[in-house]
Copies of this chain bind each other. A is one copy, B any other.
Amino acid sequence: MTATPTTETPLDAWRAYASAHERLVRHLAREITRETGLSDADYCVLEALSDAPAGRRRSRDLRVALEWEKSRLSHQIRRMEQRGLVARETCVADGRSADVVVTPEGRTAAARARAVREASLRALVLETLGPDRVEQLAETGALLGARLTRAAEDDPQCREALAADD
């Protein structure tokens, strides 16, 4: 598979990639909403809970995992609770703080959304790029992830950002 470079400076090259990546992310979110009625925020919360033991996380841990602000998470959880996708329960460990738990309805919706997403990723990304380019991306992701971890360690403000409003 060939591709013509369309860019000049390295910064332009990065921007060209980032712009395509953003289009993909928006396309996937639109497809999930169309097929399941879940917003992107709903899906992120359900995925973060479904991956946790017993489908349950402390509210604070969920917020750190999502990197959301406290007010955003509260608002989102309240709306998802009204729709029966999640429930709030007292934390079993300390009997005090709040756990967020995915309901059976939430699990069903998340599984449907995951299936839609995977089918789209196979058709749009994996088939388009092929295994070598996908493996290159994984390596690139590992380099970027390590660099970001280093940036967070070097920067106290960055480290503290997530702990600040709890």
Contacts and interface: CB of A to CB of B under 8 A. Distances in A.
Q: Report the interface size class on chain A.
A: 35 or more
Interface stretch (A1-9, A54-62, A87-95, A100-108): A1-9
Interface in A119-141: 121-126, 128-129, 131, 133-141
A1 B138 contact: no
B124 A17 contact: no
A79 interface: no
B144 A16 contact: no
A128 B144 contact: yes
B5 A138 contact: yes
25 contacts: A1-B143, A3-B140, A3-B142, A5-B142, A6-B142, A7-B138, A10-B126, A11-B122, A16-B138, A17-B140, A18-B21, A18-B25, A19-B145, A20-B140, A20-B141, A20-B144, A20-B148, A21-B141, A23-B144, A23-B148, A24-B144, A27-B148, A27-B158, A129-B144, A137-B140
